[in-house]
Structure formats: C-alpha cells, structure tokens
C-alpha cells in the first residue's frame, strides 16, 4: 500500500490533470512509444511554441482525471504508453502537430481526444489537423469581407476613368 506522502502526490497530479482538462478547449491523447529523445525534444518544442501543454501521464491517473472532468469515454484508450496534449485557446494546434508527427512515425499513434468537453475519435482529430491555423482562417474571412469593398472601388474608378479624370460629374436636375 502506498505511503500517505505518495498518495497525496498522486492526488495533486490528478487535480492538476483535471484542471488542465477542464481549462482546455481541445486535447489529444497519443501513444508515444518508439520516439527517440531528439524527435521528442523537437516535438515538445513545436508544441510549446504553439501554446500546447504536452505531458506523459500514467494511465490510472489520467483515468481518474478524465472521470472528474466528465470525459470518461477517454478511459477506453488509456492503455500502453500515454501522453496528452491540451490547449486552452487553439482548437486545432495539438491535433495538427501530433497528426503530422504520427504520419511520419510508424509507432507514434493518435488514440483519441476531446473538443469543447466532448470526446472525439481519431477521424475527427484528423479532420481538425487538416484545418488551417487560426491566423489563416482570420485572413480568409477578412479577404471575404474586403472583396465587395474592393469591387465597389474598382467600379467607381472605372466610372471616373470613363468620364475623364478632370471632368466634373454632371449636375443633377
């Protein structure tokens, strides 16, 4: 039976994991076996730069935290060597980075995840990974709003060019 000190440490870890799961808008659970130190360092750096928290966790502790965070459907995939990546403000960053790495690796595998408090499967994570970044999406929306204004400005310029640059517009009757 574990000592009281170890039990308290485990309770603290579960509480931190639960808080992280509750605060995150999205998360991805992976099996990280077969990754070497150099690749792991690069992966962690890329995740950190994107604002994603990545940690290796014991399945029993993550299972308890998932129960407390109302994500109990995650328990089915908590076997083997497990790591979890969570992000508080970007829904696709963790999925994009981890799926890209999983595609290159034979043994690194995406197992499951969650999005806005609901557990999602690997297919949904793969779909999320294919979405462009938030900045690209915002730029696309801005261009969509800008297109009608640009068309109007071109039409006005065409009218001005047709009437002559220095000519005054005819007076209204």
pLDDT in tens, 32-72: 887 888 988 999 999 999 899 999 999 999 999 999 999 88
Alpha-carbon distance of 95 to 119, in angstroms, equals 13
Alpha-carbon distance of 90 to 29, in angstroms, equals 16
* pLDDT tops 70 at residue 167: no
Q: In what order do the strands lie in the sheet with 52-57?
A: 52-57, 82-87, 26-31, 109-115, 118-120
Alpha-carbon distance of 143 to 128, in angstroms, equals 22
pLDDT band at 132 (very low <50, low <70, confident <90, very high): confident
Domain ranges of the chain: 4-131, 132-166
pLDDT in tens, 136-163: 777 888 888 887 888 878 888 888 888 8
pLDDT band at 1 (very low <50, low <70, confident <90, very high): low
Superfamily name and number for 4-131: Ribosomal protein L10, N-terminal RNA-binding domain (3.30.70.1730)
71, two tokens? 């994500």
């Amino acid at each position: 039976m574990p000592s009281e000190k170890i039990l308290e440490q485990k309770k603290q870890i579960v509480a931190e994991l639960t808080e992280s799961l509750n605060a995150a808008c999205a998360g991805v659970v992976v099996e990280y076996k077969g990754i070497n130190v150099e690749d792991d360092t690069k992966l962690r750096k890329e995740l950190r730069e994107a604002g994603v928290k990545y940690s290796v966790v014991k399945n029993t502790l993550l299972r308890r935290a998932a129960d407390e965070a109302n994500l109990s459907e995650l328990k089915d995939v908590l076997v083997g060597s497990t790591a979890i990546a969570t992000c508080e403000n970007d829904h696709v960053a963790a999925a994009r980075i981890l799926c890209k790495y999983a595609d290159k690796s034979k043994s690194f595998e995406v197992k499951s995840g969650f999005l806005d408090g609901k557990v999602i499967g690997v297919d949904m994570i793969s779909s999320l990974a294919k979405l462009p970044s938030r900045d690209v999406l915002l730029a696309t929306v801005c261009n969509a709003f800008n297109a009608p204004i640009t068309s109007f400005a071109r039409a006005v310029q065409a009218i001005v060019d047709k009437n002559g640059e220095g000519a005054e517009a005819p007076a209204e009757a």
